[in-house]
C-alpha cells in the first residue's frame, strides 16, 4: 500500500491507470480512518496486483479532496481509467468492500 503525498500530476497519472485504484482519503487525527488501515491491508493481500491502493491525507492535499467532493473521512473512491466508479464515506468492512469493488469493476467492463 502506498502512503503517498501525491501532487496533482502524479495523482492524475495514478488514477488514469488501467489497474483499478482505490483511494483512501484520511487525516491523522481521524479515529475511523485509522480503523480502515488494517482493512485496506487485508484487501490488498486478497486482491494483490489487481488493485492499487493509495492513501491521501486531506489536510496535506486539500485540492484533491475538494476536486472529488470529499466531505467526510474516511472516504474511499474507486477509479479505473480516470473515471470514478464508486465513492463512499465511512468505515467499510473488508468482505463488503471487496464485494463492492468486484461488482463495480465487472459493471465497468
- Any idea which residues carry the catalytic annotation? 30, 33
Residues whose CB is less than 8 angstroms from the CB of residue 52 and which lie 6 or more positions away in sequence, other chains included: 2, 14, 17, 19, 20, 21, 22
* Gap between the Cα atoms of 15 and 71, Å rounded: 20
* Gap between the Cα atoms of 72 and 88, Å rounded: 9
CA distances from 33 to 12, 26, 103 (A): 23, 6, 24
Place of cell 469493476: 105
Amino acid at each position: 500500500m502506498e502512503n503517498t503525498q501525491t501532487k496533482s500530476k502524479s495523482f492524475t497519472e495514478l488514477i488514469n491507470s488501467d489497474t483499478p485504484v482505490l483511494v483512501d482519503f484520511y487525516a491523522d487525527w481521524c479515529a475511523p480512518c485509522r480503523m480502515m488501515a488494517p482493512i485496506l491491508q487485508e484487501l490488498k493481500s486478497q486482491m494483490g496486483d489487481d488493485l492499487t491502493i493509495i492513501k491521501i491525507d486531506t489536510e496535506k492535499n486539500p485540492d484533491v479532496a475538494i476536486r472529488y467532493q470529499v466531505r467526510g473521512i474516511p472516504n474511499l473512491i474507486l477509479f479505473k481509467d480516470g473515471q470514478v466508479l464508486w465513492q463512499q464515506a465511512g468505515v467499510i468492512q473488508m468482505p463488503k468492500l471487496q464485494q463492492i469493488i468486484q461488482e463495480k469493476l465487472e459493471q465497468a467492463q
